[in-house]
Homo-oligomer: A and B are copies of this chain.
Amino acid sequence: MSDLLGRLRERGWRLTSQRRVVAEVLDGEHVHLTADEVHARAVERLPEISRATVYNALGELVTLGEVVELSTDGRAKRYDPNARHPHHHLVCSRCGTIRDVHPTGDLMTGLAAEERFGFTVSKVEVTYRGLCPACAGQDA
């Protein structure tokens, strides 16, 4: 918990019951939920909240920089409320489990100016892929 609601209120985010519930679901656990998973948890607190509203709220939280959107596979995007702690991800290629990692060293320096093609690079995403302990210990 990191007082996400407090920050949102200060920034003048119009606070509806639906938005409050979405923010609470995200703030509660530092996991990487899909939009439908967020919706499922939101429904437990506010039964009639719609999927469209969850998508709308998530999109705004991403725009506000309070949540990071991840597309680690070609499936549903995942929403990461741990946006204030820059970090990268370790993903299991078999079961999809995602863990936060904090590699050392400045990754930006690896990209020489001649390799930037005139781009203004603003962020770097690193995804480490492999097998988690559970999946590595299985046959086939």
Contacts and interface: CB of A to CB of B under 8 A. Distances in A.
A126 B124 contact: yes
Interface in A1-57: none
B112 A132 contact: no
A47 to B, nearest CB: 28
How many copies of this chain are found per oligomer? 2
Contacts of A118: 132-133, 136
Nearest to A104: B110
A127 interface: yes
A128 B118 CA distance: 13
Q: Is the interface of A mostly helix, strand, loop or mixed?
A: mixed
Band of interface residues on A: 35 or more
B115 A121 contact: no
B107 A110 contact: yes
Contacts of A104: 110, 112
A80 to B, nearest CB: 14
Interface in A77-126: 77, 90, 92-93, 99, 101-105, 107, 109-112, 115-126
Contact of A119 (B115, B120, B133): B133
Given A74-B77, A90-B117, A117-B99, A111 B132 contact: no
Interface of A: 69, 71-74, 77, 90, 92-93, 99, 101-105, 107, 109-112, 115-133, 136
